[in-house]
Amino acid sequence: MSKVATRFAPSPTGPLHIGGIRTALFSWLYSKNQKGKFYLRIEDTDKERSKDEYKDQIINSLKWIGIEHDGNEYIQSKKIDDHVKIANELLKKNYAYKCYCSSEEIEDQKKRAKQKKIPYIYNRKWRDLSEVDAPKDIKPVIRFKSKIKGSYILKDIVQGDIEIENDTIEDFVILRNDGTPTYNLCAAVDDHQMSMTHIIRGDDHKINTFKQIQIYEAMKWELPSFAHVPLIHTIDGKKLSKRDKASTLDDYSKIGIMPMALRNYLLRLGWSYKDKEIFTLEESINLFNLEGIGKSPSKLDMSRILSMNEHYIKNIDENDLFGQLNEYCKLFKKEIKQDKKDKIKKSLTFLKNKAKTLEDIFNNGQYIINDEVNYNQEDVKLIDDKARKVISDFSTQYEKIDTPSREILEPIINELIKSHATNFKGVGQPLRIMLTGSKFGPGIYDIILSLEKEQVQKRLTIKIT
């Protein structure tokens, strides 16, 4: 049996959405699971809409989530000569024919079909007509002579057997009248030339498969296996498209979702392995199989993405986490200053406890990252005269400390609670507000110890109404 080869074949006409990324992920995982190859084919034959920036965006998106393709990208537009060659070969072998219908004629047929509420299907007018009768002023398209009799059963790995009457597949165009090849021809030729063993793609291509298979058969090529993955739906149950918000990778990376978390989420969306939820990259390669893919479309669930991200934030190595945070800030916020990096890194232990995203960590760490505190005006109001006294008393004690530590601070705080006849909140809250600008935040000891001594002193003596 030949070595497994799969591919992902997007068209660079827009940013890749996460449905596409999941399909790519499945395809990639399967090839890696089988110790095979995974290729990337850029289907850029629509010259009008294809853009290089989208091509780059697609490659970067895949890289971001950890998918790397083998070999160079296969650029479909560079293979047009091959596609045309096959089209002519099909013509010669009488598997295709020239169709001289004008576009007006076709439009008219479609319109009438719509009026009569019957499905439009090309009427095969030129299938058996002699070219001698061809109008001179019309450049023909080449249509594939699709089977009319019988039916075909597609053995799909995910969807099972799908039977379709051959005559529902029309004589589709394989070469336009400007001589350029169309999708179904290109896809079939490329998949064959790239020696694909498994075509794993969205199930919006299911019907196309019946066209592509006929090209394979006409050319006497060995058929690959097919696995049509159900589409991802939006929360209202519609096919996810590039126009939907929160559909592209950027939408997730910019709020601080980490690649590993999104990868894990996407893996479990429409695929499962027993009750297992968390998969390392290695586990996902080792355990992935096509049989585990469900047949029904699944909906995107943001709260689950967040909780998956939260899980990774809390469980990965802190050096790794800091690396990700640093990258994130550089890309989407502002770069953390060199002298603050160490402090953030050390404080990750508690900063990450309140975070679902890297953005949350960034926000929680504002009081460390910035020298100036951004005071929440509502919270500041909580500081009354009594609180002010607590703050200044603490400040006096704090100044005497050489190297602050929890052991040293604890008795001081406890003493203040006693002398001011209050509780922990009475001391902790004013201090927290002074030091971070907010009444919410990490434990007071964590805050104090995460700041330079002079920073603490400065902030405690600052005048805020």
Of positions 246, 439, 455, 464, contacts RNA by CB under 7 A: 439
| Per CB under 7 A, 122 contacts RNA | yes
| Per CB under 7 A, 314 contacts RNA | yes
| Per CB under 7 A, 183 contacts RNA | yes
> How far apart are the C-alpha atoms of 435 and 414, rounded to whole Å?
19
DSSP string of 382-436, one letter each residue: T--HHHHHHHHHHHHHHHT-SS--HHHHHHHHHHHHHHTT--HHHHHHHHHHHHH
Of positions 60, 73, 148, 294, contacts RNA by CB under 7 A: 294
| Per CB under 7 A, 414 contacts RNA | no
Where in 418-437 is the site for RNA (CB under 7 A)?
424-425, 428-429, 432
Residue placing its CB nearer to RNA in the complex, 340 or 354: 354
> How far apart are the C-alpha atoms of 427 and 382, rounded to whole Å?
12
| Per CB under 7 A, 216 contacts RNA | no
Where in 137-156 is the site for RNA (CB under 7 A)?
141
Of positions 237, 339, 378, 385, contacts RNA by CB under 7 A: 237
Of positions 353, 363, 395, 422, contacts RNA by CB under 7 A: 353
| Per CB under 7 A, 318 contacts RNA | no
| Per CB under 7 A, 164 contacts RNA | yes
What's the min distance (Å) between Cβ of 197 and RNA?
A: 21
- DSSP character at residue 248: B
Q: Per the structure block, which two tokens stand in for 293?
A: 């893919």
Where in 374-413 is the site for RNA (CB under 7 A)?
none
**Tally of residues, the chain:** 465
On whether the CB atoms of residues 290 and 159 are closer than 8 A, the answer is no
Question: Three-state DSSP class for 42?
Answer: strand
Buried b or exposed e, range 354-364, using 16+ CB within 10 angstroms: ebbbbbbbbbb
Residue placing its CB nearer to RNA in the complex, 277 or 415: 277
Residue 213 phi, psi (nearest 5): -65, -35
Of positions 15, 66, 292, 404, contacts RNA by CB under 7 A: 292
One character per residue 15-54, x = contact with RNA (rule: CB under 7 A): ----------------------------x-xx--x-----
> How far apart are the C-alpha atoms of 425 and 421, rounded to whole Å?
12
Of positions 74, 126, 226, 271, contacts RNA by CB under 7 A: 271
One character per residue 69-98, x = contact with RNA (rule: CB under 7 A): -------x----------------------
Own/partner long-range contacts of 315-322 (Cβ < 8 Å, ≥24 apart): 316/260, 318/345, 318/348, 318/349, 318/352, 319/345, 321/348, 321/352, 322/348
Of positions 51, 111, 304, 381, contacts RNA by CB under 7 A: 304
